[in-house]
Amino acid sequence: MSTLAGFTSELIDYAGLFPPAGLEMPVVVKNYAEYLNGPKRDMLARLIVPAARLAEFEKAAADLLPKKNPWRISALVPSLQEDQSDFKFAISGIAQFNKRHADPLNGLAVVDVIEIKTPTIDHIRRTIDQLPHELSAFLEISHQEDPTESIRLVAETERRHRFFAKIRTGGVTPDLIPSCAEVARFLHTCAEQLVGFKATAGLHHPIRDEFNLTYEADSPRDMMHGFVNVFVAACLAFGCSISLEEVEAILKCESADAFSFNHDQLRWDNHALSAVKVARLRKEFAISFGSCSFTEPTLELEQTGIGPQIIKSTN
């Protein structure tokens, strides 16, 4: 496997239900089925579905779910408040969904991961205590405050292999986009604590630049983070222990030429990682990002000149 193929393997969680795309469920499941069978399927990871919409998903996907190789789904669940009823209802619904769709006659699908907002230490503790053993969780941590204590708590749990951090990297208005310094702080802390992560929102484009924030004609524009920037920075933070300042420098980079992917090595500045190590770091630590578009990031990766070698299936 080439360095770039390892770097982009199962990189994108498809979240077509969410803004700015905001597609209807039948369109989303049809798209996901097509992407799974398309030439760029190696870049595709899970489908993102709110737990509250799993019944709607089942109806829309009834004729599309496979008899082998189940669809993998990440379910968004309500934040754990002192009243745990909404969370428990969602988890119960996931368990029933998984039982039904373990039978090939019903079409195979599995919710193996949840995503949940955990704005405080108390929310993190509750989620760790209440999550059933068969599920893993991405805990969304605020980028606006120092995440060190939250990420350290995730690192210290005895079940750390099932708990990961999550950062929101954009949105449909400029105020929702975290600064390079905030994203760098999150990535660097995750690397220090050896906590895997995913990102969500705002990573439609490979390289940092100014873009429209929605698909509307009068959309606001702003600087958006690039997914190549974010995941190269993460791989080097985990694999080479680069400094916080270097992580931020990678996030600020606006040139694809700064990133070198040859057959057996990823390089940025004076730092390099082997293809084997890049693939391992991506799988274990820099896990994925959610995007409401699959075609936009994959097509733009080709257009940067970085991506032609990975657009063909590796089968």
Predicted pLDDT of residue 263? 87
For the chain, the first-to-last Cα distance in angstroms comes to: 11
Report the pLDDT value the prediction gives residue 306, as an integer from 0 to 100. 79
Q: Which two tokens stand for residue 268?
A: 């940025």
Do 108 and 98 touch, CB atoms closer than 8 A? no
pLDDT score of 150: 97
The pair of three-digit structure tokens given for residue 200, joined into one six-digit string: 């969500």
Strand partners, 138: 115, 164
Give the CA count within 13 Å in the CB-facing half-sphere of 160: 17
170 SS3 class: coil
Q: Are the C-beta atoms of 84 and 78 separated by less than 8 Å?
A: no
Show the low-confidence residues of the chain (pLDDT under 70): 1, 160, 307-315
- Position 241 scores a pLDDT of 97
Look up residue 170 and give its amino acid.
Answer: G
pLDDT of residue 125: 94
pLDDT of residue 305: 82
Sheet strands side by side (includes 265-268): 259-262, 265-268, 271-274
Strands 163-168 and 197-200: parallel
Note the pLDDT of residue 1. Answer: 64
* Domains identified in the chain and CATH numbers: 3-310 (3.20.20)
Number of residues written out for the chain = 315
Residue of 72, 298, 287 whose CA lies nearest to 190: 287
Position 50 scores a pLDDT of 98
